[in-house]
């Protein structure tokens, strides 16, 4: 039976030890990072090998392909894409609303889906629905589509629809909101002190608006108005809020368990997240010993979680919306002129195994 986990691997080819481990624990899916990417043929072969290791030809293979600082596929084999905030910045002087930005976001996401689908990758961890507030840590920063929740919701939906049209599942993140965090959860545990009314009126708005999406990723953030003891990922109270108040019925997966915002052993983190109500845990850095620890705390994917997982995969369109990729890419480049090259910076969240 499938386990309630998604794992990375260490390099551009699957090792014999990784293959044996995956065959034994049978994770629900996999995630790729830049360390796993060389060229298109190599990525296709790796994707096929991962799925073959568990005997699941349609297993989800995830990637973080946002654009800007978070882009695992890039030149020379794949184009650069802009960060989230570039779409509004590219507005024409006579553009009086965000219709043009929505079209640009959808087009960019549709092109990303075209890139991913050709490689066999069927899940993209986009859109970012976090709404930054003044003074917050810049871990979200330009990854956010805007600085108000309604615009983030509209542009986030455009991104999700572009991915779905191209045969790729979106993952809304980081639920219920990372934009108010004053620390980078890769390095420390952020604590948000805003009251519930403020969170409801601001941070939660985009997630409620996109509650019909197939998958969501949690935030490793403490919301002390809801649960002052546990970050969202391991909080029954926060997961219950996602289900009840925000109305999210899809699959909930954790952010990377190896991030320093979480405490305890990896087995304890995995068990706590699943006990809190997450459906699937995510471990990214490809360290085999760490993956074995995660497996010790991870049970089988069953019951409601298994049904949510199946429902998510059923949303994949196997005949993508028609696309003239050459013409679409030329149009996108023209509309985003000056916003793609200028917006690059240090990578975010490129998970790597800890140094020996």
Q: What is the pLDDT of residue 290?
A: 98
Structure token digits, residue 324: 């003239």
165-180 confidence digits (pLDDT tens) = 999 999 999 999 999 9
How many Cβ atoms are within 10 Å of 180's Cβ, its own excluded? 24
Backbone angles phi, psi at 26, to 5 degrees: 50, 70
Distance CA 80, CA 57 (A): 29
* pLDDT exceeds 70 at position 109: yes
Helices (H) and strands (E) in the chain, counts: 12, 12
> Catalytic site residue 52?
no
Q: What is the mean pLDDT of the chain?
A: 94
Q: What is the pLDDT of residue 45?
A: 98
Which residue from 50, 11, 4 is spatially nearest to 27, judged by alpha carbons? 4
> Catalytic site residue 220?
no
Where does the pLDDT of residue 356 fall: very low under 50, low under 70, confident under 90, or very high at 90 and above?
very low
Measured CA distances, 331 to 158, 159, 326, 327, 339 (Å): 17, 17, 9, 6, 14
Q: Which of 147, 186, 296, 347 is catalytic?
A: 186
Where does the pLDDT of residue 354 fall: very low under 50, low under 70, confident under 90, or very high at 90 and above?
low
Q: What is the pLDDT of residue 342?
A: 47
**236: Cβ contacts below 8 Å, ≥ 6 apart:** 227, 230, 275, 276, 277
Which residue from 165, 105, 185, 205 is spatially nearest to 319, judged by alpha carbons? 165
CB 208 within 8 A of CB 152: no
Q: What is the pLDDT of residue 346?
A: 54
Distance CA 253, CA 100 (A): 32
Backbone angles phi, psi at 307, to 5 degrees: -70, -40
Q: What is the pLDDT of residue 184?
A: 76
Q: What is the pLDDT of residue 96?
A: 59
Lowest-confidence region among 91-95, 180-184, 271-275, 282-286: 91-95
Q: Which of 64, 255, 256, 287 is catalytic?
A: 255
Asked: is 3-57+85-343 a CATH 3.20.20.300 domain? The reply is: yes
Q: List, as one string, the DSSP characters of 220-239.
A: --EETTT-SSS-GGG-HHHH
Where does the pLDDT of residue 344 fall: very low under 50, low under 70, confident under 90, or very high at 90 and above?
very low
Q: What is the percentage of the chain residues whose pLDDT exceeds 90?
A: 85
13-42 confidence digits (pLDDT tens) = 999 999 999 999 999 999 999 999 999 999
* pLDDT exceeds 50 at position 343: no
63-106 confidence digits (pLDDT tens) = 999 999 999 999 999 999 999 999 998 876 556 578 899 999 99
Structure token digits, residue 280: 């699937």
Q: What is the pLDDT of residue 196?
A: 97
Backbone angles phi, psi at 164, to 5 degrees: -60, -40
How many residues are listed for the chain in this entry? 356
53-82 CB burial, b ≥16 within 10 A, e <16: bbeeeebbbbbbbbbbbbbbbbeeebbebb
Span 134-140, average pLDDT: 86
Q: What is the percentage of the chain residues whose pLDDT exceeds 70?
A: 95
Distance CA 6, CA 246 (A): 25
Structure token digits, residue 196: 């519930």
């Amino acid at each position: 039976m499938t386990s309630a986990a998604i794992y990375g691997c260490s390099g551009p080819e699957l090792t014999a030890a990784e293959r044996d481990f995956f065959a034994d624990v049978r994770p629900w899916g996999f995630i790729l990072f830049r360390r796993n990417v060389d060229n298109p043929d190599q990525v296709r072969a790796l994707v096929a090998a991962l799925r073959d290791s568990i005997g699941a030809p349609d297993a989800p293979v995830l990637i973080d392909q946002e654009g800007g600082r978070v882009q695992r596929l890039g030149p020379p084999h794949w184009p650069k894409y802009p960060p989230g905030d570039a779409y509004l910045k590219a507005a024409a002087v006579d553009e009086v609303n965000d219709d043009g930005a929505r079209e640009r976001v959808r087009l960019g996401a549709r092109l990303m889906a075209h890139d991913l689908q050709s490689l066999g990758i069927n899940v993209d961890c986009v859109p970012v629905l976090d709404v930054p507030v003044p003074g917050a840590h810049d871990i979200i920063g330009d990854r956010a589509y805007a600085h108000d929740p309604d615009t983030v919701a509209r542009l986030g939906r455009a991104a999700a629809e572009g991915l779905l049209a191209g045969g790729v599942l979106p993952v809304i993140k980081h639920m219920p909101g990372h934009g108010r965090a004053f620390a980078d959860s890769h390095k420390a545990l952020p604590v948000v002190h805003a009251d519930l009314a403020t969170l409801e009126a601001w941070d939660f708005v985009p997630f409620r608006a996109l509650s019909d999406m197939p998958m969501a990723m949690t935030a490793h953030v403490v919301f002390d108005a809801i649960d002052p003891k546990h970050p969202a990922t391991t909080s029954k109270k926060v997961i219950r809020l996602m289900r009840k108040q925000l109305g999210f019925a899809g699959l909930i997966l954790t952010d990377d368990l190896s991030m320093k915002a979480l405490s305890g052993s990896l087995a304890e983190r995995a068990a706590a997240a699943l006990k809190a109500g997450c459906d699937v845990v995510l471990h990214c850095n490809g360290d085999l010993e760490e993956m074995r620890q995660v497996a010790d705390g991870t049970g089988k994917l069953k019951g409601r979680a298994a049904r949510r997982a199946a429902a998510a995969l059923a949303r994949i369109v196997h005949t993508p919306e028609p696309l003239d990729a050459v013409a679409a890419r030329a149009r996108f480049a023209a509309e985003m002129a000056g916003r793609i090259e200028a917006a690059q910076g240090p990578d975010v969240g490129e998970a790597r195994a800890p140094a020996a």
